Amino acid sequence: MSALLEIDNLAKAFHGVPVLRGVGFEIRAGTVTGLVGGNGAGKSTLMNLLGGNLRPDSGAMRLEGRVYEPENSAAAARAGISFVHQELNLFPNLTLAENLFLTDFPVRGFFIRRSALARQAAALLAKVGLPHAPDTPLERLTPGERQLVEIARALHGNPKLIILDEPTTSLSPPECERLFRLVRSLRAEGCAFVFISHALGDVLRLCDRILVLRDGAVADQGPAGDFTIPRLVTSMAGREIKQLFPGRAELPVADADADTKPLLEVRGVSQAGMVDNIWFTLRRGEILGLSGLMGAGRTELARLLFGLAPHRSGEILLDGKPLTGGPRARIRAGMALLTESRGEDGICAGASVHDNILLATLPAHARGPLGLLSNARLKPVVREVSESVHLHTRREGAEPVRRLSGGNQQKAVLARWLMTKPKVLILDEPTRGIDAAAKFEIYQLILALAAASMPRVGSSRMSTFGFVI
């Protein structure tokens, strides 16, 4: 069988810094190719080349034997290549049908054929297992359901190759299984997939072949059956990593005689359609895990605690005092929230790393009646907090945060909240979409903060560790 897509010696650099170096591989129709690598390995750059969002500096691509040089993502889509990004490109204020056909509405003359739109949208939604009506506003769906809408949109036009960038990060185990069944079904029909994921178990289970990138070059590739998780991690990191999760006993813990009074108390909190009669207590130095399937209310509870949503009944106390008001009041009281979707509401993609870190504390650093900021005075402050979370940048934080890897973006958001000196730090899926080594670092940071007696609330779909984040 001839290759559907051939990649030959691709290279790409930004501002003289090589990001891809001599990458070559091929993808055959009816196969799933797993693409793995550490944060900053070049995965996103490679996929943006395939998807028409970037042009290579050198090398060649051939699609079905013909030269493939897409000028943009629309050209790539016309050629039969669809891209499902990790950060969703959907509009919450539009309906599901409108999101699915935003650039390709069925029309008659100057008018949208609403009946055809509803019929075609319903077929795509059914294909990914979503029971919602086509006229449902997207804002009513959970993050995991929105991910399935993005995948449904990629299926429009019967693509030859679909690139899935971290498609399972917001999905519950049942939703993951539904996605995998869909991929296997489409694979049997001849559709090819590139599956990018840090969930290495999913990569081994779903993929036919695996390609490992490290520092912009191919570090390993071959049939999926030849790989194990230790081999993948070693190939990604360039060294053997024997431990994926730090042990809490290895770090200092709070003094047993320390103050054990409740710091955060949640008493019978309820809100229609979100949570019902939630009770828990958090003490200084504790890590409290929130676990549940998609739609169980983990993210909703985190938003409620931070004042992003109201609660109908019950009360929330911090240091024995009732919490009221919105996020601004909660931040002043000592609360911080690292959200699940860093691309949507965690980072300001166009701003620098330096500015992203300072966002929550700008008023505190302003001087004089005009509220002026001194970069010379702020740089050492930002450098210190960046070093505390092991965030290292090339230009002392001057580069746009969007150019950082997912793991470093997460560290930048964590650094921002540490600048507020919070009493309680709420972490909603803090390791979403980052590699094994970066996850280990994030876990170590959380344990170190806990040892310094700053409680935090963590959220995860799993509860298999001594702590759940």
Whether 463 has a pLDDT exceeding 80, the answer reads: no
pLDDT at position 293 is 67
Beta-strand runs (E) in 42-200: 58-63, 66-67, 81-84, 107-108, 111-112, 161-165, 192-196
List b or e across 158-185, with b for residues whose CB sees 16 or more CB atoms inside 10 angstroms: ebbbbbbbbbbbbbbeebbebbbebbee
Please report, rounded to a whole number, the percentage of residues in the chain having pLDDT higher than 90.
Answer: 30
Which pLDDT band, with edges at 50, 70 and 90, does 135 fall under?
A: very high
φ/ψ of 382, rounded to 5, equals -65, -40
Is it true that 5-237 and 248-259+284-312+324-460 share their CATH fold?
A: yes
State whether residue 308 is helix, strand or coil: coil
pLDDT at position 464 is 27
pLDDT at position 254 is 46
**Contacts by residues 72-75 (CB-CB < 8 Å, ≥ 24 positions apart):** 74/103
- Cβ neighbours of residue 387 closer than 8 Å, sequence gap 6 or more: none
pLDDT at position 468 is 31
- Cβ neighbours of residue 51 closer than 8 Å, sequence gap 6 or more: 70, 73, 76, 81, 83, 163
Q: Tell me: the pLDDT tens digits for 374-410?
A: 777 888 888 888 888 878 777 777 788 887 877 788 8
Q: Tell me: the pLDDT tens digits for 50-68?
A: 988 889 999 999 999 999 9
Measured in whole angstroms, how far is the alpha carbon of residue 462 from the centre of its chain?
A: 16
- Tokens linked to 350: 């166009």
Q: Tell me: the pLDDT tens digits for 10-45?
A: 999 987 888 899 999 999 999 999 999 887 788 888
Judged by average pLDDT, the poorest of 78-82, 311-315, 439-443 is: 439-443
pLDDT at position 455 is 55
Whether 234 has a pLDDT exceeding 90, the answer reads: no
Distance, in Å, from the CA atom of 359 to the CA atom of 346, rounded to the nearest integer, reads 11
pLDDT at position 460 is 52
Whether 356 has a pLDDT exceeding 70, the answer reads: yes
Distance, in Å, from the CA atom of 55 to the CA atom of 47, rounded to the nearest integer, reads 11
394 or 364: which leads in pLDDT: 364
Distance, in Å, from the CA atom of 396 to the CA atom of 119, rounded to the nearest integer, reads 52
Q: What pTM was estimated for this model as a whole?
A: 0.66
- Tokens linked to 349: 């993609």
- Out of 39-43, 100-104, 149-153, 390-394, the most confident range is 149-153
pLDDT at position 322 is 92
pLDDT at position 246 is 65
- Cβ neighbours of residue 202 closer than 8 Å, sequence gap 6 or more: 168, 176, 180, 195
Would you tell me which CATH number, out of the four given (3.40.50.720, 3.30.420.40, 3.40.50.300, 3.90.1300.10), belongs to the domain 248-259+284-312+324-460? 3.40.50.300
pLDDT at position 66 is 93
**Average pLDDT value for the chain:** 83
Which pLDDT band, with edges at 50, 70 and 90, does 467 fall under?
A: very low
pLDDT at position 248 is 60
pLDDT at position 220 is 93
- As a whole number, mean pLDDT of residues 152-162 equals 89
pLDDT at position 454 is 53
- As a whole number, mean pLDDT of residues 444-458 equals 70
DSSP state, 95? B
Per domain, the residue ranges of the chain are 5-237, 248-259+284-312+324-460
Which pLDDT band, with edges at 50, 70 and 90, does 465 fall under?
A: very low
**Neighbour tally for 110: CB within 10 Å:** 5
Of residues 23, 13, 6, 435, the one with CA closest to residue 218: 23
Whether 326 has a pLDDT exceeding 60, the answer reads: yes
Q: Tell me: the pLDDT tens digits for 273-319?
A: 788 899 998 888 888 888 776 667 888 888 899 988 888 899 999 98
Which pLDDT band, with edges at 50, 70 and 90, does 457 fall under?
A: low
pLDDT at position 196 is 92
Whether 355 has a pLDDT exceeding 90, the answer reads: no
pLDDT at position 94 is 93
CATH class entry, domain 5-237: alpha beta
